[in-house]
Structure 1
Amino acid sequence: MFITIKHGDNQQFLANINCSFLLLMHYIRDKAELEKTEPIDLCEENGTLKLLFLVKFPEDSASKFLTPRGTYYICRVERGAPGTKHENGYRAFHPVFKHPPLDLIDSLRNQCDFLERSRLKMLRSQDGKKPPTMEALLSSMAGQVVGKSTGKAGVSAASGTDEDGSPRKLTGAAKARMEASRKDKHR
């Protein structure tokens, strides 16, 4: 199971994908004379990125990610400058190919923009979903009266009882505060 890799000035070579993903990437970097630590990806002839730089398990078979007899271009992955707030951002994907077709460049640019927008959207959604701590919730509820839909005071936080006088179920820190409050009353 082989694929064709295009790079440089109309150069190409075959690569066997019946090996680990990590081994294939080392082979590609070696054949294309790229730095061993340089982040790269492969894209199809139409510009569709394979997102190989995001693979979590490099020991997986390369055939899991690539189609036999397919033709791929090598692309450099440009991320933000290290140590800045944009270090994980996607800046560009550059084909390692002289005179790449314009539609390939446009496709890579569009995918880069999409990946960056998706990354930023995910970060914003994570910031907005931080749950308040249990202590913050309990301290904001302490001393408040929670009303029922009828508008009457349903639960008294200070006494720990419902309006009919039956005890309310408490857990954790609220239970400890209630016990401390009772001890203070008996002194």
Structure 2
Amino acid sequence: MFICIKYGDNRQFLANINCSVLLLMHYLRDKVGLQRTDPIDLCEENGTLKLLFLVKFPEDNASKFLTPRGTYYICKVERGAPGTKHENSYRAFHPIIKYPPLDLLDSLRNQCDFLEKSRLKILKSQDGKKPPTMESLLSCMANQVVGKTMGKAGANVSGGLDDEGQPRKTTTAAKARLEASRKDKHR
């Protein structure tokens, strides 16, 4: 299962897609002379991005995302400057061909805009959610523990309550054990 990759000044080569997405991306970067860390993607001749740089599991087989015998362009993914608040933003997708058709550039620009708007929408929806504080986590855990203990009332292990939910009366033997444990702690 092969695909045709077009790049540069009317250059092309075949790539086997019966491998992981990660391995295919490393091969493509090496073949066209890009750095291993350069984010890239593939797009169809009409400009439809395959979004391989966003694949959740890069060890997935590339044939799940690409059509055998299809023709693709390599595109460099331009993100925001590292260390700035825009470092994760989508700036542009640049096809690595000498004279890209205008409709290809328009399609890539539209998809870039859509990805950026979607990213901002997700960030905005997450802004209203505050991470839980340690106090709220401890309170929640305490409520769960009490709830589990209350559920064991039928097994006569009710966390100090009798079968009717009332506090148990302390027996003389229990009082003696409690008094003995207090004396041991003070010694």
TM-score (ref. length: structure 1):
0.70
Could you tell me how far apart the structure 1 residues matched to 2:122 and 2:58 are?
A: 24
Could you tell me how far apart the structure 2 residues matched to 1:60 and 1:131 are?
A: 32
Alignment match, 2:75: 75
Alignment match, 1:163: none
4+ residue runs over 6 A deviation: none
CA shift digits 1:66-107 (9 cap, x unpaired): 110110000000000000000000000000001100000000
Would you tell me which structure has more strand in proportion to its own residues?
1
Shift of 1:45: 0.5
Which segment drifts farther, 17-26 or 39-48? Answer: 17-26
Could you tell me how far apart the structure 1 residues matched to 2:119 and 2:83 are?
A: 18
Alignment match, 2:113: 113
Could you tell me how far apart the structure 2 residues matched to 1:108 and 1:87 are?
A: 20
CA shift digits 1:2-53 (9 cap, x unpaired): 1000100110000010111111111111111111111000000010000111
* One-letter identity of the residue aligned with 1:7: Y
Would you tell me which structure has more helix in proportion to its own residues?
2
TM-aligned CA distance change 1:134 to 1:42, over 3 Å: same
What are the equivalent positions in structure 2 for 1:37-186 lying under 5 Å apart?
37-130=37-130, 172=143
CA shift digits 1:101-130 (9 cap, x unpaired): 000000000000000000000000011233
Alignment match, 1:28: 28
Q: Which runs of 5+ in 2 are unaligned?
A: 137-141, 147-187
Could you tell me how far apart the structure 2 residues matched to 1:55 and 1:61 are?
A: 11
Could you tell me how far apart the structure 2 residues matched to 1:56 and 1:120 are?
A: 19
TM-aligned CA distance change 1:83 to 1:134, over 3 Å: closer
Structure index of larger Rg:
2
Could you tell me how far apart the structure 2 residues matched to 1:132 and 1:22 are?
A: 36
* One-letter identity of the residue aligned with 2:41: D
Alignment partner of 2:69: what SS? coil
Q: Which runs of 5+ in 1 are unaligned?
A: 137-170, 176-187
Alignment partner of 1:120: what SS? helix
Aligned length: 139
Shift of 1:135: 5.8
TM-score (ref. length: structure 2):
0.70
* One-letter identity of the residue aligned with 2:58: P
| Sequence identity (%) | 83
TM-aligned CA distance change 1:63 to 1:130, over 3 Å: same
Instruction: Name the Cα RMSD after superposition.
Output: 1.8
